[in-house]
């Protein structure tokens, strides 16, 4: 996870240098955050397809509804600002790594899947939360966007606690 | 073409003042608690605010979701369930029986509230 975080920050600083600015642009952050949300929604759909565990299924359903709501709010704000999210190396790296992780999870069944899904959810939310809190929110320029990132972070922190409980319950 | 005469403006004002006095007196005579109230619970930052409320039977409780994430207000005993409330959605229920009603958000069960109805 530290490697992933380092990679994400490397991708961000590279594009930031190109823009001659400090940190990623709002439109890059928006793209990364949206991508990260969609990744978790896809993990959740995989869990609903493969898991019979009620706790895992409840968690997965909450991930779908919450990340959909946050992403919809981001899209609504971008539309209001007449802006388009900007694809970037970090988004692409996240997507590639998530595809590999999905392949890994899809090969598992039963309790092995449940544990691996729960572990990944905890690690993924820890990584995303650290990135949003320490990199994205400080770098965001638009006040409304910054506020939305704050709401998103509050949501993802609840997910992190929920995932932590799920990991412990499945041990 | 006027078929009848309206009372004079002054007479009307006096009548209105009497009526207001009668209504006010009636309102004061009604025992406290007999008029149904509406209690608003805000859902914000993954919490019910306030988490504990006391109501009278017949009162209405209204939840308003201020979070981006959807929430529910769902009674543990199944007596009410808001269903999914998106951002700025609100939902109300009339509390028809006395008792203590624990409720949670089905999506985030760590969110808990209680209504005490007398």
- Please give the pLDDT value at position A72: 97
Mind listing the pLDDT tens digit for each residue in A96-126?
A: 999 999 999 999 999 999 999 999 999 999 9
Interval A21-42 mean pLDDT: 93
Report percent pLDDT > 70 for chain A. Answer: 87
- Please give the pLDDT value at position A139: 96
- Please give the pLDDT value at position B9: 52
8 Å CB contact of A70 and B69: yes
DSSP state of B10: H
Dump strand ranges (E) for chain B.
38-44, 47-49, 52-55, 60-65, 74-75, 90-94, 99-104, 112-117
8 Å CB contact of B46 and A154: yes
- Please give the pLDDT value at position B24: 53
- 3-state class (DSSP) for residue A90: helix
**The pLDDT of residue B46 is above 80:** yes
**The pLDDT of residue B17 is above 70:** no
- 3-state class (DSSP) for residue B20: helix
pLDDT band at B61 (very low <50, low <70, confident <90, very high): very high
- Please give the pLDDT value at position A23: 77
**The pLDDT of residue A71 is above 50:** yes
- Torsion sign, CA atoms A85, A87, A90, A96: positive
Mind listing the pLDDT tens digit for each residue in B79-94?
A: 999 999 999 999 999 9
- Please give the pLDDT value at position A41: 98
- Please give the pLDDT value at position B21: 53
What is the interface pTM, i.e. ipTM, of the complex?
Answer: 0.81
A-chain CB neighbours of B110 within 8 Å are 158, 161-162
What token pair was written down for B58? 């017949």
**Chain B residue set in contact with A, beta carbons under 8 Å:** 45-46, 67-70, 84, 86-87, 107-108, 110
Interval A123-130 mean pLDDT: 98
**The pLDDT of residue A27 is above 80:** yes
Mind listing the pLDDT tens digit for each residue in B68-79?
A: 999 999 999 999
Nearest CB among B68, B86, B110 relative to A155 is that of: B68
- Please give the pLDDT value at position B35: 86
Tell me which of A25-29, A102-106, B33-37, B63-67 is least confident. B33-37
């Amino acid at each position: 996870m530290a490697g992933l975080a380092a990679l994400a920050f490397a991708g961000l600083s590279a594009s930031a240098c190109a823009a001659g600015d400090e940190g990623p642009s709002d439109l890059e952050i928006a793209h990364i955050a949206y991508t990260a949300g969609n990744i978790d929604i896809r993990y959740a759909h995989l869990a609903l397809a493969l898991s019979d565990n009620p706790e895992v299924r409840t968690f997965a359903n909450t991930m779908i509804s919450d990340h959909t709501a946050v992403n919809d709010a981001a899209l609504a704000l971008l539309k209001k600002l007449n802006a388009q999210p900007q694809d970037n190396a970090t988004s692409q790296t996240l997507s590639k790594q998530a595809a590999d992780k999905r392949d890994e999870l899809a090969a598992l069944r039963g309790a092995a899947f449940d544990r691996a899904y729960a572990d990944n959810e905890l690690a993924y939310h820890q990584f995303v939360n650290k990135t949003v809190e320490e990199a994205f929110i400080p770098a965001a320029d638009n006040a409304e966007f910054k506020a939305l990132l704050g709401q998103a972070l509050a949501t993802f922190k609840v997910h992190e606690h929920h995932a932590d409980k799920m990991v412990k319950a499945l041990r | 073409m006027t078929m009848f005469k309206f009372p004079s403006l002054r007479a009307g004002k006096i009548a209105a003042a009497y009526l207001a006095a009668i209504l006010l007196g009636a309102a004061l005579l009604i025992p406290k608690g007999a008029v149904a109230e509406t209690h608003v619970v805000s859902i914000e930052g993954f919490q019910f605010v306030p988490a504990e409320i006391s109501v009278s039977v017949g009162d209405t409780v209204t939840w308003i979701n201020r979070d981006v994430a959807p929430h529910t207000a769902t009674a543990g005993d199944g007596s009410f369930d808001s269903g999914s409330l998106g951002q700025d959605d609100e939902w109300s229920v009339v509390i028809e029986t006395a008792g203590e009603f624990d409720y949670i958000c089905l999506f985030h069960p760590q969110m808990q509230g209680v209504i005490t109805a007398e």
